[in-house]
Copies of this chain bind each other. A is one copy, B any other.
Amino acid sequence: MKYYLGLDVGGTNLATAVVDYDCNIISRASMPAGAGRSIEEITDDMAAVSRMAVDNAGLQMADLVSWGIGMPSCVNAKTNLLVHANCFGWKNVPIYDYLEGKLPLPVKIENDANCAAYGEAVAGAAKGHKNVLMLTLGTGVGGGIILDGRIYAGADNMGAELGHTKLVFEGESCTCGQKGCLEAYASATALIRFYCRETGMDVDDVNAEMIFKAASVEEEAACRVVSDYIDHLAAGISSFITIFRPEVIILGGGVANAGEQLLAPLRKRLEYFTFGASEIGVPPVVKAGLGNDAGLIGAAFLGQR
Contact = CB atoms under 8 A, between A and B. Distances in A.
A142 to B, nearest CB: 13
Interface string A160-190: 1110111111110000101011000000000
A156 interface: yes
A152 B160 CA distance: 15
A243 B279 contact: no
A131 B155 contact: yes
Given A156-B245, A244-B155, A167 B166 contact: yes
A261 interface: no
A242 interface: yes
A239 interface: yes
Contacts of A164: 242, 275-276
Interface residues of A, number: 45
Contacts of A158: 245, 280
Contact of A154 (B159, B169, B245): B245
Contact of A242 (B159, B235, B241, B274): B159
A111 interface: no
A235 B164 CA distance: 11
A193 interface: no
A83 interface: yes
29 contacts: A83-B279, A84-B279, A131-B155, A154-B243, A158-B280, A159-B241, A159-B242, A159-B244, A161-B242, A161-B243, A161-B275, A162-B243, A164-B242, A164-B275, A164-B276, A165-B239, A166-B167, A166-B235, A166-B238, A168-B169, A169-B231, A169-B232, A169-B235, A176-B275, A178-B273, A178-B274, A178-B275, A239-B239, A243-B243
